[in-house]
Amino acid sequence: MIANEDFYAGANVEEFLQEIKDKKVTGGSGGLKIGPLSLSGSAKVTKEKNERYSYSNKYSFARVDIIKRIKRLYLDVVDANDLIPYLSTAFINNLNKMTPEQFVEEYGTHVLLDISIGGRLQFNYRSVITETDNNIEKKKIVEAGAKTSIGIFGASGNGSHETTEVKNLNKKNSNWDVEISYHGGTNSGLNYSLTSTEGLTSIQFNKTQWEESVSDKNAALVDINWNKTFPIYEFISDVAKKQQIKKAVENYLEGKKLQTMNLIPMYTLYDMNVYDCLYTTNLKEYISYPTNNVAKNGACFYVHKTQEANTIPIYRVYDSNGHNHIYLARGGEAELNQYLSWTQYEGIEGYVYSPYQTPPAGTIPIYAFYAEESINCILVMNEKEVPSYSEWCTYNGVAFYAYPQ
């Protein structure tokens, strides 16, 4: 069978996994609810250890599977009870010897009755998109990035990456990475990792040669018909034991859920008309701000959209006399109250980490400066720039910790 392309994409990891669930896990769970975040294996696009950050809303995701099916293996069974007489002695013995958790770890959560084997070339793509906060647009952009990846790799069969629309959309992806893995065929187990830093280089890949290399001797699992599956506990007659295993299955799936963070970009601009640095998480405010004599510098770092454990708010106030926005975090409400007597309160821009506590892995210090001559508060993300700012500004130390752009 000629290889075909299966696409999945989402503006964030939950939407991405939901699309995989909608397209692949359509039924057959026997009443067992499988949430999209439990499909964590479908989103493993990075080897980073900080899972919550790696799969945060900072990133959009896409996956392309180039699949060559060579054989379908199935049992035409509609009732799990019909298979109980064929259970192995080891299955029955282990059911009595193992704890429910050990049993699920050994046998898995489902029995698969309809699978396809062959070869799968899988592209897991992840990128940062800051030009829009519309999830529909983000999905189109990350899809374009994935199409471009498989096109340059030489695996695309339809040339969609060459269209003007895809090329224009792909330009809006930044800080992307792609994991390319072979499953089945002579290259089974081979992996490539590419990032936006090194760019997409042309790798010597012959799609026809790879397809021809896939045989039943080196085939891998490439597809599951989830309408033809039974939860493992459906093969257990003992009511009490069945409930124990069902609970263990539910706990196992719950434990596989990806832990994510709702991060949003902080945009920055400099208004040279009034010598004011504006930092905002409101994209509409950033886009609509007048452009005359204004330098718009895009997203500079990421903050939590809502308050989480150990985070503190960034308060934004405005000094109308000095035409200066001021950002307060480490001093909390006590510091805010000191400013409210002579500034206008403009709200909370997001949540970050205090410089007085050990920051989480992956965060960066945000340095605070005050330019007295222009009455301007400046936030600096790059430690190497601190000395140059210190020459003409007052250095106020680390304001807070946030996630990098």
User: What number is the average pLDDT over the span 179-206?
Assistant: 80
Query: Per-residue pLDDT for 137 more than 60?
Result: yes
Among 280, 325, 271, 272, smallest CA distance to 299 is for 280
User: Is 386 buried (19+), middle (13-18) or exposed (0-12) by CB count in 10 A?
Assistant: middle
Residue 78: predicted pLDDT? 92
pLDDT digits (tens, 9 = 90+) for 115-131: 999 999 999 999 999 99
Residue 357: predicted pLDDT? 96
Residue 367: predicted pLDDT? 98
- Does the pTM surpass 0.75? The reply is yes
Query: Where residue 143 falls among pLDDT bands split at 50, 70, 90?
Result: very high
Residue 40: predicted pLDDT? 54
pLDDT digits (tens, 9 = 90+) for 364-383: 999 999 998 888 999 999 99
Per cent of the chain over pLDDT 90 is 74
pLDDT digits (tens, 9 = 90+) for 257-290: 888 999 999 999 999 999 999 999 999 999 999 9
Most confident of the following: 9-13, 155-159, 257-261, 320-324: 9-13
Residue 297: predicted pLDDT? 97
What's the chain's average pLDDT? 90
Q: What SS3 string covers the chain?
A: CCCEEEEEEECCHHHHHHHHHHHHCCCCCCCCCCCHHHCHHHHCCCCCCCHHHHCCCCEEEEEEEEEEEEEEEECCCCCHHHCHHHCCHHHHHHHHHCCHHHHHHHHCCEEECEEEEEEEEEEEEEEECCCCCCHHHHHHHHHHHHHHHHHHHCCCCCCHHHCHHHHHHHCCCEEEEEEEEEECCCCCCCEEEEECCCCCCCCCCCHHHHHHHCCCCCCEEEEECHHHEEEHHHHCCCHHHHHHHHHHHHHHHHHCCCCCCCEEEEEEEEECCCCEEEEECCHHHHHHCCCCCEEEEEEEEEEECCCCCCEEEEEEEEECCCCEEEEECCCHHHHHHHHCCCCEEEEEEEEEECCCCCCCCCCEEEEEEEECCCCEEEEECCHHHHHHHHCCCEEEEEEEEEEEC
pLDDT digits (tens, 9 = 90+) for 235-259: 999 999 999 999 999 999 998 888 8
Residue 152: predicted pLDDT? 80
Residue 26: predicted pLDDT? 58
User: What number is the average pLDDT over the span 185-192?
Assistant: 81
Q: Could you give the angle at which helices 100-107 and 89-97 cross, rounded to 10 degrees? A: 150
Residue 36: predicted pLDDT? 59
User: What number is the average pLDDT over the span 166-187?
Assistant: 92
Q: How far is CA 214 from CA 170, 181, 191, in A?
A: 32, 15, 17
User: What number is the average pLDDT over the span 398-405?
Assistant: 97
Residue 200: predicted pLDDT? 66
Query: Per-residue pLDDT for 1 more than 70?
Result: no
* Cβ-proximal residues to 374 (8 Å cutoff; 6+ apart), any chain: 275
Which of the residue ranges 15-29, 75-89, 136-150, 170-184 would you say has the lowest mean pLDDT?
15-29
Per cent of the chain over pLDDT 70 is 91
Residue 5: predicted pLDDT? 83
pLDDT digits (tens, 9 = 90+) for 31-89: 555 655 555 555 555 556 578 999 999 999 999 998 999 999 999 999 999 999 999 99
Residue 153: predicted pLDDT? 78
Q: How far apart are CA 119 and CA 192, in angstroms?
A: 17
